[in-house]
Copies of this chain bind each other. A is one copy, B any other.
Amino acid sequence: MVDDTAPHPKSRGAARRAQRRGPTMEDVAEVAGVSRGTVSRALNGGAHVSPEALAAVHDALRSTGYVINQSARSLVTRRSGAVAFVLSDAPDRLFEDPVLGALMRTCTQLLAERGSSLMLMLAGTPQERERVLHFARGGHVDGVLLVSVHDGDPLAAQLHETRVPVVVCGRPPSRGPAFPYVAADDRDGARLMTRHLAGRGRRRIATVAGPRDMAGGAERLQGFRDVLGRRASRRVIAHATAYTIDAGRDAMTRLLDTCPDLDAVFVASDLLAVGALQALRHAGRAVPADVLVGGFDDSAIAPATTPPLTTVRQPLPRVAAELVEVLTQLIAGRPASSRVLPTELVLRESA
């Protein structure tokens, strides 16, 4: 006769389940009639597991409704399964930009397909940056996607010290650590647009450049200069203070002041172009009759401006895909190199 009141293995599992803990790997093993180790192996690729055991485990998995405990797994594998999407610039107004949304969305999706998650992190303030570093050092994330870095950004250098895998979106400033990056070919895109403007017979071509210290800005301005040479005098260049509609309006207004006879303008982002169009309208200049306006990005807003915006397309889905790909390589310990993706001119009505 056995003492039925004595606790035995089976009752433990039952009790645990009763208190809503969810089945553990031990429970699955019990149901499948194998050991915990075998269940684990079956879950992780199924190498060194017999077909029968595999089948039994799979049955047990569904019958128990097993869900792995990621914390327990992470504790031993030292992989969190998450990636930080870090907005390195003061992101107050950054979120207005559809470009960012598109990037975030595609990254989230591609990461999910690889079983990883996107953790959104802000890094505009010192405390926020400290938090990012903390996450990197503590292994809370396996890698970081660094978006919108600007010159002299302290975060990049600090991240470098943590040795966490990092890939930068956009060409990073030359003075920071040499992280791999993925960027659209900003310079060539700017050349494409500037040439287009010049090709339409305009003589006085100006540009609203991006903020001086931000990724992409310098490249696009350089492309503009490549085509225009000495004609690209300072009077013809206005730097926006941020990538926002308001900043675009202000910069365009200044441009109209310093260079009233301009007949075309290359604006370094679509959002800036929305502002530039406003300023032009306000000044009574017709687009494209009096002034040709070319944007950059081909974001969701471009076809919706008045008139619809001729712009340079950044291949955002590809940027996102390469970003995720490169980071995945890095996390796996494999080397990965930067990629620069081609841009293309998208003709609409503004130029």
Judging by beta carbons under 8 Å apart, are B67 and A71 in contact? Answer: no
Judging by beta carbons under 8 Å apart, are A121 and B108 in contact? Answer: yes
Bits for A240-253, please: 1 = Cβ < 8 Å to B, else 0.
00001110000000
Judging by beta carbons under 8 Å apart, are B112 and A122 in contact? Answer: yes
Copies assembled:
2
Contacts of A121 in B (CB 8 A): 108, 112, 117
* A112 and B137 in contact, given A71-B74, A71-B80, A96-B300 (Cβ under 8 angstroms): no
Docked complex: A46-94 residues within 8 A CB-CB of B: 65, 67-72, 74-75, 80, 82, 85, 91-93
Judging by beta carbons under 8 Å apart, are A72 and B70 in contact? Answer: no
Contacts of A65 in B (CB 8 A): 137
Judging by beta carbons under 8 Å apart, are B69 and A138 in contact? Answer: yes
A211 at the interface (CB under 8 A from B): no
Q: How large is the interface on A (under 10, 10 to 19, 20 to 34, 35 or more residues)?
A: 35 or more
Contacts of A122 in B (CB 8 A): 105, 108-109, 112
A128 at the interface (CB under 8 A from B): yes
Of A177-185, A231-239, A274-282, A325-333, which stretch is located at the interface? A274-282
Judging by beta carbons under 8 Å apart, are A102 and B95 in contact? Answer: yes
A278 nearest CB neighbor, chain B only:
B304
B20, B74, B101, B118: the one contacting A95 at CB < 8 Å is B101
A98 at the interface (CB under 8 A from B): yes
Judging by beta carbons under 8 Å apart, are B112 and A70 in contact? Answer: no
A228 at the interface (CB under 8 A from B): no
- Report the bound CA distance from A138 to B92 in whole Å: 34
Contacts of A163 in B (CB 8 A): 20
A158 at the interface (CB under 8 A from B): no
Judging by beta carbons under 8 Å apart, are B101 and A96 in contact? Answer: yes
Judging by beta carbons under 8 Å apart, are B105 and A304 in contact? Answer: no
Contacts of A118 in B (CB 8 A): 119-120
Judging by beta carbons under 8 Å apart, are B95 and A104 in contact? Answer: yes
A306 at the interface (CB under 8 A from B): yes
Contacts of A173 in B (CB 8 A): none
Contacts of A303 in B (CB 8 A): 245
Bits for A96-126, please: 1 = Cβ < 8 Å to B, else 0.
1110111011001100100001111110000
A131 at the interface (CB under 8 A from B): yes
A160 at the interface (CB under 8 A from B): no
- Report the bound CA distance from A288 to B124 in whole Å: 40
A22 at the interface (CB under 8 A from B): yes
What are 29 A-B contacts defined by CB distance under 8 Å?
A20-B163, A65-B137, A70-B139, A71-B71, A71-B72, A71-B74, A71-B80, A71-B139, A72-B75, A82-B82, A93-B300, A95-B101, A95-B102, A95-B104, A96-B300, A96-B301, A105-B122, A108-B122, A109-B122, A109-B128, A112-B128, A117-B121, A118-B119, A118-B120, A246-B304, A275-B304, A278-B304, A301-B301, A306-B306
**Nearest 8 A-B pairs (CB), nearest first?**
A95-B101, A71-B74, A67-B138, A96-B300, A71-B75, A245-B304, A67-B137, A71-B71
